[in-house]
Each structure stands twice: as structure tokens, then as C-alpha cells.
A and B are shown apart, each in its own frame.
Chain A
Amino acid sequence: MVAYQYVSKKETLNPTVNIIGLIGKKVISKGGTIVGYVSEVRVSGNNLELQGIVIKRKFQGPIYIGKSYFSSLSNIAIILNIELNILIKGKKVLTFDGKVLGRVRKVNRKKFTNEIENLVVNSLWRKYLILPTDIKQIKSTVLVKYKYNESKNHIWKRPKQDNNL
């Protein structure tokens, strides 16, 4: 361990992290998903404070994450305090009654925040636009509040007869 000769106006020194050492470290979401690896650490030129990081992902574009979404920062990894909504892309979308609507093709967010504006869901033949008010929960799949409406009633699908005594 290197012993420094400290030159600082502050009497007590807060524990710090070596920024260069952060590069290449894991970025983990709140639920434990490995989002990617740190490729850049961005510092403000005005107040010299850490502003955010750029995450490199395999086969996907990089993501910039602001420091407000950091939960903890160590020499091993950066842990976020959110589940990134960008990562919903590709997840299955289920209706309230368990029918698979399709998969999320696009996540439209409110400006650059983590809040969803709407989700574009594609199935084989149809396309749905889901608003955040219609979403019940987002975990390993997206669950929406409404039931699935079958668009077409075939002639041979007769309603069930009630024959109980």
C-alpha cells in the first residue's frame, strides 16, 4: 500500500476511490444484473465532481449513467440503485390473464431519465403501444393490467352451453 504525503485544506479526509482503477470494473443493477463494464468515468470540468460513467456492453451500444443512479462505488464494482429500463428490451410482455402479448421492441423514455414514456411491443402479427399506466410490474417479464382481447371469433368457436341442473 502506498503511503501518501497529504496536501489538503480539509482536516479530515474522506475515503476515496481510484477512478482509473474503476475502468473495466463491473456495473451491477439493484437486482444483481451485470449491466456491463465501466469504459469511461466522466468528471465535470466546472466543479471537478464525478458526473457519471459510460458502460460498455457486449454486442450492444454503450450507456451513460449519471451519478444520481449510483448506490455504492468501490474498487470492485459500481452498484446502481435502479433497474435500468433500457434493459427491458427483448423481455416478454404478459397480459393480466397470462397471455403472452409479444416482446418489447423499443423502450421510449422521458428524455434521458430512467422513466418509461411507452413501450413498443411486437408480436408476430401485431404491434402494441403500452403506456406506463398500463404496466403492473416489470421484473423478469413485463406484466400489463389489462386482459387479452381476442380480435376474431371464429364461427366454429361456439359459446359453452350451460347444462347444469
Chain B
Amino acid sequence: MNRKTISGRDLSKTITSEDLLGKEVIDSDSSFIGVIEKVLIDPKKLQFVGISIDKGFLRKGFTIGKGYIDKITTHAVFLKIKVSYDVKGKIVFDNEGFIVGRVTAIELYRNKNKIVNIFVRSSLFGKEIMIPAFCIETIGENVMLKVNRLEL
């Protein structure tokens, strides 16, 4: 049955919230982050603001602003960034390959995706070390530092 629409614009190429909900979210490293559980809309400007992501059972979700969304395809939503929250739990190696510990917490610059500091703990009851972002060489499967553990 034909559905009538009243609009000044061509709405044939738009997508609906139903299309987005439940869609997989993939970051710039093409790793699966979660699924979209909410679509966020600004009530005053009536604009799409971002999405809320569900990471799965017992895992805390988060929201992502539309500025970080790269594209919306038929099967997934791609992000422009690698989500900084994903660093949590990764092993941190120094420049010699020594295991410094695991990332327990991160500090971001305001509400952006930029890491300021990471907090690493070597053991369950060990002391927490703060490592500034400029000491990080690469973040891949784990975190590699530019510096030696003795310099931290």
C-alpha cells in the first residue's frame, strides 16, 4: 500500500531508525565494537546527534557522536576512529618487551577520543602507574611503549 509523505525534500534516500538499530558498529581498525541500541536526536534542533552502542552481556556500552561516524552501509556502521576505551585490559610492554602491566583505566581529553594518560597495574594488588600518551609507541593488539620501564 502506498504511504503518503509530506515533505519539501526527497526522502527516498533516507534511512530510518529501524535500519540503524541492531546494526553492527565497526571501528577504523575494522574490529567489531558492538551493536547500535539507541539513536540519539537533539530535541531542539531535530538533528541526529549520535548513537548508543551496546557492547554485549555485562559490558558497559557507550555513546558516539555523529562526527566520529564514517559511513552507514547496508550491513554495518563504520567509524572514523579506533575507540580509546578499547585500550582497557590490554597488556602494556616497554621498549624492551618487558610486561609493565595491564591497562586498568584511561583518561581522555574532555569527552573526545584523545588519550591523555593510561593507568597500568602490574598485578592485582600492585601499584597503579600513570603513563602519559606521549610514551605510547603503538596500540595494536596490545600497547607498546617508547620508553623503558625504569623511566616511568
Interface residues, chain A, CB within 8 Å of chain B?
A: 25-26, 28-34, 72, 74-79, 83, 92, 94-99, 137, 139-143, 148, 161-165
Contacts and interface: CB of A to CB of B under 8 A. Distances in A.
Residue from A31, A83, A92, A99 with most neighbouring chain B CB atoms (10 Å): A31
User: Size band of the B side of the interface?
Assistant: 35 or more
Contacts of A137: 29-30
B47 interface: no
A139 B29 contact: yes
B100 to A, nearest CB: 11
Contacts of A26: 97
Given A26-B97, A74-B96, A98-B73, A139 B138 contact: no
A2 B88 CA distance: 41
Contacts of A142: 30
Contacts of B32: 92, 141
Interface stretch (B57-65, B74-82, B111-119): B74-82
A162 B73 contact: no
Nearest to A98: B76
A76 B140 contact: no
A97 B31 contact: no
A72 B95 CA distance: 8
Interface in B5-32: 5-7, 10-12, 24, 26, 29-32
B4 to A, nearest CB: 6
Interface of B: 2-7, 10-12, 24, 26, 29-32, 73-78, 90-91, 93, 95-98, 138-144
A158 to B, nearest CB: 13
Contacts of A32: 90-91, 93, 138-144
B30 A139 contact: yes
A94 B30 contact: yes
Contact of B24 (A29, A78, A98, A165): A98
Contacts of B12: 162, 164
Given A28-B93, A148-B75, 4 more contacts: A77-B97, A97-B74, A98-B24, A137-B29
A47 B89 CA distance: 44
B75 A164 contact: no
B26 A31 contact: no
Contacts of A34: 142
A47 B24 CA distance: 55
Contact of B141 (A76, A140, A164): A140
A140 B113 CA distance: 19
A165 B4 contact: yes
Contact of B7 (A29, A75, A97, A165): A165
B6 A165 contact: yes
B3 A163 contact: yes
A140 B97 CA distance: 21
A142 B26 CA distance: 12
